[in-house]
A and B are shown apart, each in its own frame.
Chain A
Amino acid sequence: MKFKDYYATLGVPHDADTEQIKKAYRKLARQHHPDLSKSAGTEAARFKEIGEAYATLKDPEKRAAYDELGRRPAGQEFAPPPQWTREHAFDGQSFEDIDLADLLDALGRRHRGGAHANVPVHGRDYETAARIGLEDAHRGTTLSLDLQDETGGRRLDVTIPPGVSEGQKLRLRGKGGKGRNGGADGDIYLHITLAPHPVFRPDGHDLHFDLPLAPWEAALGAEVQVPTLDGPVVLTVPPGTRSGRKLRLRGRGLANGRGGRGDLYASVHIDVPAALTERERELFKELAGASRFDPRAVVAKESA
């Protein structure tokens, strides 16, 4: 078994009191916590070390047992005192295969619950994220999740029902780590995000998309073909449609998983040709001369 210097890990002296240990731990935890740190990969291992050191030193019984091991350099191979094997009856397990933290944990449990206490242990829960396409969210899909646990990697096929939306959290009950001593198996918590779609932007189960209109289509009204998840449909643009107006197509959004669907919104913006033909220029000039429309009338009035 390799020795670990928990006092050095937390940077506290051997005679540090509980308050000092807690303070040192919190400071390091704040620095290395994967949620708060930028380099999550390397920090996770460091955070685990700090956590392990704190779990031992904050518990008076575990700390006493650890102190019994004496002081030695970190990483040095050592064997715990022979009386530990006798006193704690480690089922003939060799100390060489055990991690120091696991040994101290086992000691703590035996002290508290007696040597034969088989406390039910809930299996480990997993948190994982999956990004799916908008169409898959709408129609439902099957995902293959790759999970890493103590026994190595494993793959799990999960059926995602229709109706998930951006940020949806799902729970796969009993699909996490195995429980021990009659404890329930753990769960998998699945966080769903939606991949950006080239046309539609989701808001819950509603969808939005941009509908560019020519000035004459907006002014005169038009029937235009627009995309939906179910294929193109014809949308009637009423005469006098202004830029920024949202035209609703009821029930053409995402399935909500409860038999209904969100709505689809076409967000109008009016586009003009980047270059005009001679004829177009003539017609626009004629319109400019004939029209009494002043789009800045309100602005002019308010700023007057």
Chain B
Amino acid sequence: MNAQALKVVEVGWLDARETLTAVELSHACGLTAAELDELVEYGVLTPLPQRPSERVFSAECVVPLRTAGRLRHDFDLDLFAVAILLGYLNRIDELEREVKSLRAHLPGHPPHPHRGEGPEPWREPHG
């Protein structure tokens, strides 16, 4: 297929390779700049240290923040509850990544069990 012939849609990577300003993040997550500041104060959102003059965030935080923002709206939560939620959402994300990584390390196709060949099965003496 000739990809050049198609209308190319600009794809943004929502991971550490891209950054957003506070205004862009606010638009993406439906939270005001003041609310983002409050989340920074609560320690659940950390601006990148590169440019202290202007707050810049890693694009990694967009999806969890959007989820937290949506749950905030859906359950009419206050911002402190959002902060607690965000902490847990990030933790879940981290653990899910770890589980996926560990699964990749596990053997996918264990050796076939012996069928009537080889040694007798181990017999555990009853206690």
Contact = CB atoms under 8 A, between A and B. Distances in A.
Contacts of B3: 140, 142, 159
A6 interface: no
Interface residues of B, number: 40
A258 B27 contact: no
Contacts of B63: 169, 189, 191
Contacts of B96: 167
A58 B75 CA distance: 13
A175 B62 contact: no
Contacts of A203: 100-101, 104-105
B125 to A, nearest CB: 15
Interface in B49-83: 59, 62-63, 66, 71, 74-76
A210 B104 CA distance: 10
Contacts of B7: 157
B76 A169 contact: no
Contact of A159 (B8, B17, B59, B107): B8
Nearest to B2: A142
Nearest to A196: B108
A212 interface: yes
B114 A274 contact: yes
B62 A171 contact: yes
A181 to B, nearest CB: 15
A170 B104 contact: no
Given A269-B111, A274-B117, A22 B100 contact: no
Contact of B9 (A22, A58, A158, A274): A158
A51 B70 CA distance: 12
Interface string A16-43: 0000001001100110010100000000
A157 B9 contact: yes
Given A210-B107, A271-B111, A122 B27 contact: yes
B111 A161 contact: no
A173 interface: yes
A189 B66 CA distance: 10
A54 interface: yes
A108 to B, nearest CB: 16
Contacts of A221: none
A274 B118 CA distance: 8
Contacts of A274: 112, 114-115, 117
A208 B105 contact: yes
A274 B115 CA distance: 8
B13 A168 contact: yes
A103 interface: no
Contact of B75 (A29, A125, A171, A187): A29
B98 to A, nearest CB: 10
A160 B12 CA distance: 10
A142 B6 contact: yes
Given A35-B71, A202-B104, A267-B107, A159 B14 contact: no
B103 interface: yes
Interface string B1-29: 10100111111111101000000000110
A179 B12 CA distance: 20
A172 interface: yes
Given A159-B9, A207-B104, A257-B17, 15 more contacts: A29-B75, A47-B74, A51-B74, A156-B9, A159-B6, A166-B100, A167-B96, A170-B12, A171-B11, A171-B59, A172-B12, A189-B66, A190-B11, A208-B105, A209-B108
12 contacts: A33-B74, A47-B74, A160-B11, A161-B11, A171-B12, A173-B10, A173-B12, A175-B9, A201-B108, A257-B13, A258-B17, A267-B107
Q: Which 4 A-B pairs have the closest CB atoms?
A: A203-B104, A169-B14, A171-B12, A201-B104
